[in-house]
Structure 1
Amino acid sequence: MTFAPQIKIPAIYMRGGTSKGVFFKLEDLPPAAQKPGPARDALLMRVIGSPDPYGKHTDGMGGATSSTSKVVILSRSSQPGHDVDYLFGQVSIDKPFIDWSGNCGNLSAAVGPCAIAMGLIDADRLVSDGTATVRIWQANIGKTIIGQVPMTGGSVQETGDFELDGVTFPAAEIGVEFVDPAADDEDGGGALFPTGNVVDTLDVPGVGRFQATLINAGIPTIFLNAADIGYTGTELQDDINGDAAALERFETIRAHGAVHMGLISDAAEAAQRQHTPKVAFVAPAAGYTASSGKQINAEDVDLLVRALSMGKLHHAMMGTAAVAIGTAAAIPGTLVNLAAGGGERTAVRFGHPSGTLRVGAEVAQVNGQWQVTKAIMSRSARILMEGWVRVPGDAF
C-alpha cells in the first residue's frame, strides 16, 4: 500500500488579541483550496487537527479551544479603497466543519501586521516610522475594518508596553476600528436590532422566559441578565464549562435566539452554525478575582460581561462581541446599557474573566432607527512562527 507524502504550504502562525490562528496567503494555497468548498475546508481542518474526538488537537496547529482553532486567508483586496481581503474560518474542534458565518475581532488586529509581512500592502501605503493605516475588507460579513499598525525602521513594531488582559506578555498597541459594524438589510433599517426592539422577551422551551437584547453589531449576540439565569456575572471558565447541563441550556438559548433573530429558520440548524450568534450575560459592576489572580474592583468597571463561544465560556472576550457590547452600551434601554447604569455613553469598560476591556462606539438615531457608525478598541498582535505547515497530500 502506498501513502501520499506530505506537502508544505507557506503560513504564519500569529496571535491577535486574545486569539491565535494560522494565516495563509490565498495564492499560496493549493489550487483546489483557493476557492470555497470541500477541498479548502478539508485542508484547513487537517492543518488545525480537526475533527479531534480527543479534544486536544495533538496532530495539528490548533489549541483545542475556540480562541485557538482559527484559520485566516488573506489576499490583495478586490474592493476599491481597501488594501487586503480578510477571510476568517472558525474550525470546530470535534466535528468536521468550518464556520465561515462571522468575523474574529481579535484576529482582526493581526491582519494588518500579517498582510505587511506577506507583502500584500503596497509600499506607498506604509511609513518607515509612525503608524500605517491598513484598510481591511472583512470578506465574511462584507465590512470595513481599519487597523492602525505601529511601524519602526520600516518594519511592524511588535514589542511594546501595551498590556491586554487575557494575554500574558505586553506588546505594541494596535488600534482597530470597525466601520459600520451593524448587519445590513435591504431597507437599511432595523438591522442593528433584528426584531426592531432594544429588549425582547425570549421564550425558550424547556429552559424559561427571559428578557434579552438581540443585537447585530460586530457579531450577532444575545445578551441576557445574569441574575435571570442564575449567575452573578463574576463567573470564571470553570464555573460554567464544567457544568454540562448549563452548557446545554446556553446552547438551547442560543439556538432559539438565532431563530428569533432571523439567522436560521429552525433551532436544529444551530448545530451547523456554532460561531454565530454568541450568547452573553451582563450584570452591574462588582468586584471579583480574575483568572490570573488579578483583583478587579467594582470601581474599575462599568459592568460585568461573560460570553460563550463555540459552546464554552470564553476565557476573556471575543473582539466582535466587544463591538456588540460597546454598541449596546451606547444605546439607552438595552440590557447592556442598563447594567452599566443607563443613560448615554460613548465608551464602556467591562469586566470579563481575564480582567477588563474598554471599547468605544458612536451611535445615532436616524429616522427612528438606531445606527452605529463605528466601534473602536485597542489590541496587540505578534508573529509566533512563520515558515510552512505540512499536511498529508491526500488530506483534501
Structure 2
Amino acid sequence: MAHHPQIRVPATYMRGGTSKGVFFRLDDLPEAARVPGEARDRLLMRVIGSPDPYQKQIDGMGGATSSTSKTVILSKSESPDHDVDYLFGQVSIDKAFVDWSGNCGNLSAAVGPFAISNGLVDPARIPENGEVEVRIWQANIGKTIVSRVPITDGQVQETGDFELDGVTFPAAEVPVAFKDPADGEGAIFPTGRLVDDLEVPAEVVEGGILKATMINAGIPTVFVNADDLDYSGSELQEAINGDPQALERFETIRAHAALRMGLIKELGEAANRQHTPKVAFVAPPASYTASSGKAVEAEAIDLRVRALSMGKLHHAMMGTAAVAIASAAAIEGTLVNLAAGGGKRNAVTFGHPSGTLRVGAEASLVDGRWVIDEAVMSRSARVLMEGWVRVPGDSL
C-alpha cells in the first residue's frame, strides 16, 4: 500500500463576522499551489476535508456548512493603492470543486487583522494605539475594500464589547467599507430593470412568473418576495434546510436567475457555480424569535431577509449579501426597498435568522445607470488557531 507522509503548510484559522476560514499567505503555499489551477484546488479541498459524501468534513478543517467551508489566500499587494491582495475560495462540501466566482464579506473583516499580524502592511503605518486603515484588493471581483482595524500596544486588538448577532461572544469592532461594490465590470442591474418577471417552472410558483430584483452589488443576488413563495419571512434554518423540496425550489430559482443575469450560458452550469448568485427572500418588518431565543421586535427593523448560501439557508447573513441588501434598499423601487417601506434610504436594519444587522449604502443615478459609491457595515474578527495545517503528501 502506497505511503505518502503528510506535509505541513503554515496557516491561520480565523473567524471573520459569522464565518470561519483557513487563511494562508501566498508565499507559504507549496510551489505548485501558488498559482491558480488544479494543484491549488486539490490542496484547499484536502485542507477543508472535501469532497465528503457524508457532508461532515470530519477529515479536514471545514465545519460542514457554507459559513465554515472557506479558504483565503493573501499576499502583499504590488499596487501602491492597496496593502494586500485578497483571494477567496468557497470550497464545496460534497463536490470536488472550489468556487472562485465571488467574495466573502464576512471574512473580509479578518483580512485586515491577518495582514497586519503577518507583515503584509507597512509597519510604519501601524500606530502604537488607535486604528489603521487597511486597503484591500479583492481579487475575485476586482474591487477595493477598506477596513479599519483597532490597534492596542502596537498589536491588533481582537477582544472588545462589540456584539454581532450570529456570533456568541463580543469582540473588537472592525468597520468594513466596500467601495463601488458592483460585481465585476457589469451593471448593478444586469437586466437594466429594478424588478423583473423571472420565468421559472410552473412547479416553482403558480403561473411560472416570479417578481425578482437581480442585483450585482457585493455579490450577485436575486431577491424575491417571501409572500410569493408562501413564506412569512420569519423562517429559521430548519424550516428551509429540513425541507428537500424547498431547497430544490430555491436552487431552481437560483439557476434561472443566474441564466437571466448572464452569469451562466445554460442552466446546467449552475451546479458548478454554487457560490453565486445568492438567492434571498424579503418581507416587511414583523416581530419574531431568532434562533438564539432573542426577541426581534418589528419596531427595531426595517425589513426581514432570509438568504441561502451553497444550497442552504444561512444561519445569519452573508456579508456580501448584506452589501447587496444595503445597495438594493438604497434604490427606490427594488423589492428590498419596497419591503422596507419604500422611499429614499441610505441605511437599513434588517432581521435575519440570528437577529439583526444594520448596513448602509449610498446610491446615485449617473447617466441613467445606478451606481453604489460605498456600502458599509461593522463586523469583528479573531484568530482561533495558528501554526500549520497538515495534509497527505499526495494532495497536490
The 5 Å alignment of 1:84-99 reads 84-99=84-99
Larger CA deviation: 383-392 vs 2-11: 2-11
- Indicate whether 1:40 and 2:40 are aligned: yes
Deviations 1:343-368 (A, max 9, x none): 00110000000000000001101111
Q: Deviations over 1:127-181 (max 9, x none)?
A: 1100110000000000000010000000000000000000000000000000000
Q: What does residue 288 of structure 1 align with?
A: 288
CA distance in structure 1 between the aligned counterparts of 2:80 and 2:279, rounded to whole angstroms:
34
**Which AA in structure 2 matches 1:201?**
D
Q: Judge which range, 207-216 or 314-323, deviates more.
A: 207-216
| Aligned position for 2:274 | 274
Amino acid at match of 2:156: V
Match of 2:120 in 1: 120
Checking the alignment, whether the CA contact within 8 Å between 2:232 and 2:283 is kept in structure 1 is yes
- Residues 307-318 of structure 1: matches in 2 within 5 Å? 307-318=307-318
Q: Deviations over 1:42-68 (max 9, x none)?
A: 001000000011111111000000000
Q: Deviations over 1:48-93 (max 9, x none)?
A: 0000111111110000000000000000012231000000000000
Please tell me the residue identity of whatever aligns with 1:259: L
Identity, % of aligned positions: 73
Task: After TM superposition, give the deviation of residue 124 of structure 1 in Å.
Answer: 1.4
Is the contact between residue 143 and residue 184 of structure 2 (CA under 8 Å) also seen in structure 1?
A: no
For 1:262 and 1:43, the matched residues in 2 are separated by: 30
Q: Could you tell me how far apart the structure 2 residues matched to 1:117 and 1:8 are?
A: 21
DSSP-derived class of the 1:337 partner: helix
Using the alignment, how far apart are the partners of 1:236 and 1:184 within structure 2?
32
Please name the residue that 1:146 is paired with: 146
Q: Is the CA contact 2:13–2:384 (under 8 Å) kept in the aligned structure 1?
A: yes
Look up the match of 2:253: 253
Counterpart in the other structure of 1:10 = 10
Superposition pairs of residues 325-340 of structure 1, within 5 angstroms:
325-340=325-340
Q: Secondary structure at the match of 1:222?
A: strand
CA shift, 1:184, in A, is 4.2
Post-superposition CA distance 1:242-297 (Å, at most 9, x none): 00001001000000000100111111100010000000000000000000000000
How far apart in 1 are the matches of 2:114 and 2:367?
40
**AA matched with 2:168:** T
* 1:345-360 → structure 2 map (5 Å cutoff): 345-360=345-360
Q: 2 CA distance for matches of 1:308 and 1:218? A: 15
Which whole-Å CA distance do the structure 2 matches of 1:147 and 1:209 have between them? 41
Deviations 1:280-316 (CA, angstroms, capped at 9, x unpaired): 0000000000000000000010000000000000000
Aligned-pair CA distance for 1:4:
1.0
Cα distance in 2 between the residues matched to 1:127 and 1:139: 27
Match of 2:192 among 196, 209, 233: 196
Distance, in Å, in 2 between the alignment partners of 1:262 and 1:137 is: 24
TM, length-normalised to structure 2: 0.98
- Structure 1 partner of 2:227: 227
**Displacement of 1:232:** 0.7
C-alpha deviation, 1:205, in angstroms = 1.8
Where do 1:295-314 residues align within 5 Å?
A: 295-314=295-314
Number of residues of Structure 1 aligned to a counterpart in Structure 2: 392
Q: Is the 8 A contact 2:142 2:184 kept in 1?
A: no
Structure 2: distance between partners of 1:244 and 1:107: 29
**TM-score normalized by structure 1?**
0.98
Match of 2:155 in 1: 155
